[in-house]
Structure 1
Amino acid sequence: MNINESLLFLRGFLINPQRVGSVLPSSRFLATKMLQSVPWNEVKAVAELGSGTGAITSLIKAQLSGPTKVLLFERDKKMRNKLRTDYPDFTCHSNACQLVKKMNQEGIGSLDCIISGLPFFNFTSEMRDTLMNQIVEALKPGGIFVAFQYSLQMKKKFSEDLIIEKIEFVPFNFPPAFVYTCRKRETL
């Protein structure tokens, strides 16, 4: 993380703290923990929600082998423009509430994995419901959803829609975070 990324992130937080949940991008410890449970050799399509300045995106790129479709979602226009410049092979979109629509436009039937840095607890209950519906619809049966949060307040909501496989605490981040690794239920 360089000083420009930190300042860009801080600017986004000061303008809209509801959407940018922290004053700093994710630490390398948090970014690494976010990606540990993903079987990257099986991932053909992945979305990152709340990509920010690309702290996790850079590690996603390093994990990819072969043709993998990557969709990035970031509301902040300046951060989104930086992502487009830094990751020209990935598609960038502004609204994660349109995840399924954007997948369809890209010719993606389902996602193997969704990585999220969205501050769910800051959103209205309606927005949380919309996002969770989009996530569940977008994931293939057995697909993985990994999200970090700064508290355990989303545990109940995540468990309503997904199977929580584990929750890990990452102290080396500001603020410290919990990483939820969840799986979409298999269809019967």
Structure 2
Amino acid sequence: MNPPLSKNKKASWAPLKETRSFIKEVVGRFSTTGAILPSSKYLARAICGTLRVERAPWNILEVGPGTGAITREIAKVLRPGDTLTAIEINESFAEHLRHEIQTKKEYAKTKDQIQVLVGKLEDLGGDAVYDCIISGLPMNNFEGEIVKQIFSVFRSLMKPGAPLSYYEYFAIRNLKYPFVPQTEKKRLREVSEIVDEEIKKYQVRARKVWMNVPPAVVRTLVLNPVSRK
């Protein structure tokens, strides 16, 4: 059984500067961090394009916010009535992000609309309550079966027609493939098959972001399309 979600634990340390904090965690937990630097502002703006549409208030879920590079951009475009739930498995990142939200001017107008939870995606349950999901999960670091489960949980959490926006580093699987052992090649093939099938069926938009380290592609999928009668 997964531990209960935590949202009220206070940070017991003064946060490090974002990049230092990020790199420290990457060294110890690369499989769940999946990046070498925080997302650039250009990537953050691109992935938040989903929110810049004519719409009613939304319940928004951010999965894997890390130190908050994308969370800050989401906060800029939150509208009255919107809510943002950010769920982060790395407790150090979550504590850092909570401190940022409570103390930084970028969050002054919207901090009461944001909650940060510590836990796994599946801890949220299966109620379809979210109008949009923005994900920073490092799909390319996981086993194929886990990637399949992630997409399944996304579906269970999203309302019909709700967009999922996520990013992956540009052509990363193809670039890694020639240089890894057979077991890793097998894992990459499995991940590619699962992700490519979801993209083929449900992608509505893709945008390359060159101003990021490494360059990335932002994908938007509608996993629960609205049925047309």
TM-score higher than 0.5 here?
A: yes
Match of 2:199 in 1: 159
More deviation, 21-30/34-43: 34-43
Tell me the CA shift for residue 40 of structure 1: 6.5
From the superposition, tell whether residues 43 and 128 of structure 1 become closer, same or farther in structure 2 (CA, over 3 Å).
farther
Kindly tell me the number of residue pairs found equivalent between the two proteins.
181
Pairwise CA distance, 1:172: 0.4
Q: Distance in 1 between matches of 2:116 and 2:73?
A: 17
Offset at residue 67 of structure 1 (A): 2.1
Partner of 1:17: 30
Identity %: 25
TM-score (norm 2): 0.71
Distance 1:56 1:98 in 2: 21
TM-score (norm 1): 0.86
Deviates more, 1:151-160 or 1:116-125: 151-160
* CA deviation after TM superposition for structure 1 residue 21, in Å: 1.2
Secondary structure of 1:42 counterpart: coil
| Counterparts of residues 6-155 of structure 1 (less than 5 Å) | 6-38=19-51, 39=53, 41-87=55-101, 89=112, 90-98=114-122, 100-101=124-125, 109-152=128-171, 155=195
Shift of 1:163: 1.3
Give me the CA root mean square deviation.
2.3
Q: Return 5+ residue gaps in structure 1 as ranges.
A: none
Q: 2: distance between equivalents of 1:67 and 1:56?
A: 20
More strand, by proportion: 1
Larger Rg: 2
Counterparts of 1:163 and 1:99, CA distance in 2: 25
Following TM superposition, by how much is the alpha carbon of 1:157 offset from its aligned partner in structure 2, in angstroms? 4.2
User: Hey, what's the Cα distance between the residues in 2 that align with 1:58 and 1:40?
Assistant: 21
Cα gap change, 1:43 to 1:119, in 2 (>3 Å): farther
8 Å contact kept, 2:87–2:121:
no
Unaligned runs of 5+ in 2: 1-15, 102-110, 174-191
Letter in 2 for 1:91: Q
Deviation at 1:100, TM superposition (A): 3.8
